[in-house]
Amino acid sequence: MGLTITEKIFSEHAGKEVKAGDIVEVPIDMVIGNDITTPISIRAFRESGAKKLANPDGFSIVLDHFIPAKDIASANQAKISREFAWEQDMKNFFDEKDMGIEHALLPEKGLISPGDVVIGADSHTCTHGALGAFATGMGSTDLAYAMVTGGNWFKVPETIKVIFSGKLQEHVTGKDLILELIRQIGVDGALYQALEFTGDTIATLDMDSRFSLCNMAIEAGAKSGIIAVDDITREFLNSKNLARKPKEFYSDPDAKYVQTIEIDVENLEPVIAYPHLPSNGHSLSKAVEDQIRVDQVFIGSCTNGRLSDIEVASKIVKGKKVARHTRLIVTPATQKILEEATEKGFVKDLIDAGAVVSNPTCGACLGGYMGILADDEVAISTTNRNFVGRMGARSSKIYLSNSAVAAASAIAGKIARP
């Protein structure tokens, strides 16, 4: 019986053939912490008696959730990470000087390579599977163990193969593919399993859409999401000074999958996830018919804060004005994306339309700051979660969409077709 990509990555790291269900301890190529989770890891690291990181080049701290600091508590959290980074002389420490949302910044910096094992104390670490890596979220104490030892233990997950076929309609993206999958299998449909995305549709997806697709694997309960390396991946990586040599793995034809799901996307519309679960998906046609008035539109996050998201939004709003009763907040995922969007005129088009364009931050996505919803307000957001109270007041409502739909909705003041 052949092996899946995920089994091959773990086999290579373990130095022996392993299969789904095996428990292995393997070296970690990249450990990722942020300003919320890292202080807990640092405390556990110190309590262990450790003095030095086991693999300093394989540890990144990205201050992204509440940076620049929103209050005294968040300032103190950031201070703990800064002092630790200076103490350890970390080269992969990213603060205001070179900031970005961790799951956009690290691929941009070339710190994730195909074939890596990546862990982060953030559930959306699975984003990096778009580069052919095994990437998953863990707890802060799990990170501390990796900081001390350079490795961690895993139960090798079973894999669900998801085959997307057909040509995508205009304004249908990787975000819609994952929302459709979650609509079909639910938020617990892939518990502790890897989602391997394949099919002729995937072969046409750009990297931004692939990152979005893998980013939300966790919203189906998955341990990880992964896409095999192809020419599109290689083109993205060619411009990077990669931290490690890429190792390309491909599932064998006779690999064992726990399930195979086939989704024909030829007639797929943009998917709108209604409150209060990502699995509560409906077609854009239904959302337009329902006449859903929106108070706030948010375009950003580790799911949809990339250059293509800002570009499509700017093209849709150019020469128009955001509806009087609606706010449009656009948050680029990294400083480089913000710089490129500014150079290309996208930021001007957005501001002229009435948008607020902020510094890179997770901010509004988790109801942290820079876009908190008031009582009973309604938002359409390009983020990954629409749980009760996720972006502010518990009585607020969040609809999830891609960036084109979000931008069109800002102009219309209600969920609208691009």
pLDDT band at residue 96, thresholds of 50, 70 and 90? confident
Is 90 exceeded by the pLDDT of residue 41? yes
Which element (helix H / strand E) includes 340?
helix 335-343
Domain boundaries, the chain: 5-262, 273-412
pLDDT value at residue 320: 97
Report the relative pairing of strands 23-27 and 151-155 from DSSP bridges.
antiparallel
Residues 279-305 have a mean pLDDT of 97
Split at pLDDT 50, 70, 90, the class of 97 is confident
pLDDT band at 1; cut points 50, 70, 90: confident
pLDDT value, residue 309: 97
273-412 shares the fold of 5-262:
yes
pLDDT > 70 fraction of the chain, expressed in percent and rounded: 100
Residue 60 has pLDDT above 90, yes or no: yes
Q: What is the pLDDT of residues 304-334, one digit of tens each?
A: 999 999 999 999 999 999 999 999 999 999 9
- Give yes or no for residue 235 having a pLDDT over 90: yes
Q: Among 3.30.499.10, 3.60.15.10, 3.30.750.24, 3.40.50.670, what is the CATH number of 273-412? A: 3.30.499.10
CA distances from 198 to 126, 194, 230, 250 (A): 16, 13, 11, 11
pLDDT at residue 231, rounded to an integer: 96
Give the closest residue to 212 by CA, choosing from 328, 105, 337, 126: 126
Tens digits of residue pLDDT in 137-182? 999 999 999 999 999 999 999 999 999 999 999 999 999 999 999 9
User: What share of the chain has pLDDT > 90, as a percent?
Assistant: 97
Residue 386 carries which side chain, given as an amino acid letter?
N
Q: Return the closest-CA partner of residue 333 out of 299, 366, 356, 367.
A: 299
Contact between 366 and 331 under an 8 Å Cβ cutoff? The reply is: no
pTM for the whole structure: 0.94
C-alpha distances in Å from residue 52, one per residue of 57, 60, 184, 218: 12, 14, 46, 32
The two three-digit tokens of residue 327, written as one number? 């706010």
Classified by CATH at the fold level, domain 5-262 comes out as: Aconitase; domain 3 (3.30.499)
Place of tokens 């450990």: 31
Give the pLDDT confidence of 385-417 residue by residue, as tens digits.
Answer: 999 999 999 999 999 999 999 999 999 999 999
Other C-beta atoms closer than 10 Å to the C-beta of 166 total 15
Where would I find the H helices in 262-402? Answer: 284-289, 301-304, 307-317, 335-343, 346-353
Helix (H, G, I), strand (E, B) or coil at 102: helix
Give CA torsion, residues 172, 177, 181, 182, to 10 deg.
-80
For the segment 121-145, the average pLDDT, to the nearest whole number, is 96
> What's the whole-number mean pLDDT along residues 244-249?
95
Is 17's pLDDT higher than 90?
yes
For residues 255-266, average pLDDT? 96
Mean pLDDT of the chain: 96
- 277: tokens are 């679960």
β partners of residue 164: 263
Q: What is the dihedral of CA 112, 118, 122, 123, to 10 degrees?
A: 110
